[in-house]
Amino acid sequence: MKVENLELVNEKYNVFSSFVGDVETDTLFTFSAKDSLVAKGFEATAGSMILKGYRPPFDATSIRKMREAGGFLIGKTNMDEFGFGTFSVNSAFGIPKNPFDTERSCGGSSGGSACAAAIFDNHVSLGVSTGGSIACPASFCGVYGLTPSYGRVSRYGLIDYGNSLDKVGLLSFRASDLRKYLPVISGIDEHDPTSAVQPDLKLGQKVMKSVAIPREALMEGNISKDVLKCFEESIEILKSMSIDVEYISMPILKYSIPAYYVIATSEASTNLARYCGMRYGQQEGDLTVKFDDYFSSFRSRYFGMEAKRRILLGTYARMAGYADKYYNKAVRVREAIIADYRKHFERFDAVITPTMPFISPKFDDISVMSALDSYKVDFLTVPPNIAGLPHLSVPCGYSEKMPIGLLFTSAHWNEDALIDIAERWDLAFDVRHADVIV
Ligand code: GLN
């Protein structure tokens, strides 16, 4: 649908945590952004009650660049609190509902961004991925989701989850938007030193010719029959595009999830230390009590359950004397995963797997999942994320009218090949619109 009636859209789909009253129609394009990216004129909450009322005085670099390119920011999108989740149900300002079926999740943690990309015509949304938060919602909402290499897009103005993992990227219904907007948001930014090492983004030079399928990824984690069938059909489509498809072995992938959750929660637990009721967002409280009682009561009251769990996990993993047992070991696993991918990228342009092991689940089914169950479903999206590799989810099929995604991971800085395949895929595959009724 056209970018209008945001209030009605939000009533039905909970896309935004905040949005504009009037959409300017004389701008070049409209965009939305995950609520962990700060933007002048909007509250920035990162899906957390603790940040309610925080109005940042500046734009994140990615938002500034989109605005300078002529974009009009229509709203900040709902997300799992600080990015902690896979279904956007840990969102303090409304749980986004899937445009294909409102009883199902949009995925997470950039769920609102994927929802906006699926609903609005000519619209692109900025998302952020730490362990799969662009690819997962792209898959569940049937849109393209591009996560660039770590360091390609500045993280300045991003409310961090895990600094060594966070990546800002794009979600859109149109594959052509990736070529259009990746150069806009990419580039060296003096405010984010990790953006400084990147080679120039050169597009239009690489063509995807060969892909590899890691056997273990398909066997390990209970991928549903409909997703496997769709994956097999996708392989046939790739072959018909003259792309070589081969099976490889990557046994190291099974360590990605434990290593990721150690690294991500360790970093998250230090990042969340700054929210103590004194600097950002909520600040009312009883100032007559001892300072640590003030901080604890504040943090107990306003952090959600999952944020508390991650703080406990991360703090435990970082405890003095435990570094070798958890954090340092996880970092070594990360290095081994990167080395293994590198070896395969000498022969192949990309590694492919399904994006998620199943179609978007119903909220009822999510409510009975344990925390560990939901951590485990990320086993296909975490590997490229822990390795900082660029990856792309494309819609590749439908089951029970719900979209299914196919995930391409390529070598560091090789977004070019991903954009090439996104556009060719768009010609070969008929991507469906959701029936949006407001
Ligand atoms: N689901 C993963 C997590 O909860 C990834 C989330 C993300 O990329 N922000 O950590």
Count of CB atoms situated within 10 Å of the CB of 254: 15
Distance 133 CA to ligand 1 centre (A): 6
Q: What is the pLDDT of residue 287?
A: 82
b/e map of 25-56 (b: 16 or more CB within 10 Å)?
A: eeeebbbbbbbbbbbeebbbbbbbbbbeebeb
Distance 85 CA to ligand 1 centre (A): 5
The pLDDT of residue 26 is 82
Two tokens, residue 87 = 């279904």
The number of C-alpha atoms within 13 Å of 355 and in the hemisphere containing its C-beta is 36
Quick one: pLDDT at residue 213? 98
Q: How far apart are CA 356 and CA 230, in angstroms?
A: 12
What is the structure's pLDDT at 24? 84
Classified as helix, coil or strand, 87 is coil
Per DSSP bridges, beta strands 71-77 and 101-105 are unpaired
Matching residue, tokens 């840990």: 90
Instruction: Name the one residue in this structure whose structure tokens are 């990228």.
Output: 345
**Which pLDDT tens digits describe the chain residue by residue (438 residues)?**
999 999 999 999 999 999 999 888 788 999 999 999 999 999 999 999 999 999 999 999 999 999 999 999 999 999 999 999 999 999 999 999 999 999 999 999 999 999 999 999 999 999 999 999 999 999 999 999 999 999 999 999 999 999 999 999 999 999 999 999 999 999 999 999 999 889 999 999 999 999 999 999 998 778 999 999 999 999 999 999 999 999 999 999 999 999 999 999 999 999 999 998 888 888 877 888 998 899 999 999 999 999 999 999 999 999 888 888 999 999 999 999 999 999 999 999 999 999 999 999 999 999 999 999 999 999 999 999 999 999 999 999 999 999 999 999 999 999 999 999 999 999 999 999 999 988
Predicted TM-score (pTM) of this structure: 0.97
Helix, strand, coil distribution of the chain in percent, nearest 5: 40, 20, 45
Give the residue whose CA is nearest to atom 5 of ligand 1. Answer: 131
Nearest atom, ligand 1, residue 129 CA: 8
Ligand 1 contact via 149 beta carbon (within 6 Å)? no
Interatomic CA distance for residues 134 and 144, integer angstroms: 9
Distance set, CA 86 to CA 15, 55, 255, 345 (Å): 16, 26, 19, 28
Catalytic residues: 34, 109, 133
Residue 145: CB within 6 Å of ligand 1? Answer: no
What per-residue confidence (pLDDT) applies to 175? 98
Q: How far is the CA of 162 from the centre of ligand 1 (A)?
A: 10
SS3 360: coil
Contact 86 CB / ligand 1 (< 6 Å): yes
